[in-house]
Structure 1
């Protein structure tokens, strides 16, 4: 699983060639269309990865990876304007960047009166996104981006196409313009952001759900319940969360920065969480993302 945004596709392509495996034996996923149009002053901007330029972005992915096709190409997010982008990516600055010690992290988390700074800024940025919204323009951006993926699939550049970070209302909107509905929706998903409505909706639509952010949930929350269940089943904390996802019918994509991580990620089939275990983990859901807030995009409907 990679993306034009990640800047590692050439290394991934090199590893594919050095593996000695046939191309058909390795599943490759990439993503394009991260930045909204007219957004060159945004945080982390790249001119190669803008909505409206998906055909060129897809070709660049194939070139960097050194392949003729990818198995799955995703639209990286549904953001259609700079105001939406600034509101949607806020969790990065309060959660993910704080957990990694990044200079981009926002500190402190609370004001002296106890008010949560993240909640206050999220509300303010959400209002800015609503005030700046252009409903017709936002839909046009999303529709044009998706049609580009449909064309790439017809051209044989990707076997399957899907989306990432799309909430249910935007998936419903897609039914009005999509010739092919997404095969997959990749979203942040863990016990703290369980997205039960989206998982249920995807199941009804025969759409697979891929979840990211499992390791971040474990490292940030340090949940006593997860620790307790790990000790109960003699497994690691990340294995508890991965098993919870598996039993919910969600595909997980944990990081694999070492051989030990890969081994740990794979060995989640030798134990099973009980119904009580699952219910307790379900009870951790606060609809609280660490990476991406989908509400600003829903507000463009």
Structure 2
């Protein structure tokens, strides 16, 4: 496995290497300029994840510029909101996002959700039209890689039948309570890199006696155990934080390893709960 500044990377089907650890952003107060600049300049984070829906594209662009880092030194992921699905709207939305962030390209651009947020012929047809636009953006170099978020196996199977380029990444909710093993196996078989968000289950997993016990064994925090477990399972992991101390704490997961027995204990914690959107019933 390759690395960027000591951070392991995951190979994509097109040959690119994505850092396995990154910093996520979110809406409703989930953005901090100081935390992002600190992550980039002090912690060595080189992977940032955002979305139009989060409403922080312009702020993130400013944070990147203020960090002094070259655009080419970063991996930048953005996501297309379902209200912008459809061939023409997708292409416009991507270029508008680039403009708001002050960048010429995204390293990874994802469809945010399997269901469109607008009237359409069918979900499947709208996904296919949208994906064709992403394929063109990929060929044009506006997106160095393209993928999806919150897609289940049946969504991926339809996309595979309808389009020519297999998604490079599928980003879904992933934490000890929600492990999606069938989906993970499918992605591996199809050459789709698996990326997990909400690694702390929005804080729910931090009070788990199992996680607390493992954390005590390693002299680490429960958050570090959950993030390390995700990374060690090979999932590209993007914890969110607006506090410098938590950003630093999270990045330290690259400095230790869990024993196989502890990995297996955490693997048994799956109970199927979703703390974010549940896409299973989207047609």
TM-score for the superposition, normalised by structure 1: 0.73
Structure 2 unaligned segments of length 5 or more: list them. Answer: 1-48
Q: Which residue of 2 aligns with 1:111?
A: none
* Partner SS state of residue 268, structure 1: helix
Q: Which residue of 1 aligns with 2:75?
A: 27
Of 48, 73, 77 in structure 1, the residue corresponding to residue 113 of structure 2 is 77
* Partner SS state of residue 159, structure 1: coil
Q: Is the 8 A contact 2:85 2:116 kept in 1?
A: no
Aligned length: 234
Stretches (4+) displaced over 4 A? none
Q: Is the 8 A contact 1:215 1:255 kept in 2?
A: no
TM-score for the superposition, normalised by structure 2: 0.78
1:167 aligns with 2:152: yes
Q: Which residue of 1 aligns with 2:102?
A: 66
Q: Is the 8 A contact 1:5 1:34 kept in 2?
A: no
Q: Is the 8 A contact 1:210 1:250 kept in 2?
A: yes
- Cα distance in structure 2, aligned partners of 1:176 and 1:50: 19
The 5 Å alignment of 1:79-94 reads 79-80=115-116
- Cα distance in structure 2, aligned partners of 1:260 and 1:180: 40
Q: Which residue of 1 aligns with 2:229?
A: 244
Q: Is the 8 A contact 2:241 2:247 kept in 1?
A: yes
Choose 1 or 2 for highest CA Rg. Answer: 1
Q: Which residue of 1 aligns with 2:242?
A: 257
Structure 1 unaligned segments of length 5 or more: list them. Answer: 36-48, 84-133
In the TM superposition, what is the alpha-carbon distance from 1:33 to its structure 2 partner? 3.1
Q: Is the 8 A contact 2:85 2:130 kept in 1?
A: no
* Partner SS state of residue 185, structure 1: strand
In the TM superposition, what is the alpha-carbon distance from 1:27 to its structure 2 partner? 1.1
Structure 1 pair 62–81 and aligned structure 2 pair: CA distance change class (3 A): closer
- Cα distance in structure 2, aligned partners of 1:151 and 1:232: 50
In the TM superposition, what is the alpha-carbon distance from 1:180 to its structure 2 partner? 1.0
Q: Which residue of 2 aligns with 1:103?
A: none
- Cα distance in structure 2, aligned partners of 1:247 and 1:220: 17
In the TM superposition, what is the alpha-carbon distance from 1:10 to its structure 2 partner? 0.2
- Cα distance in structure 2, aligned partners of 1:202 and 1:18: 37
Q: Is the 8 A contact 1:28 1:70 kept in 2?
A: yes
Bigger strand fraction: 2
Q: Is the 8 A contact 1:254 1:265 kept in 2?
A: yes
1:152 aligns with 2:143: no
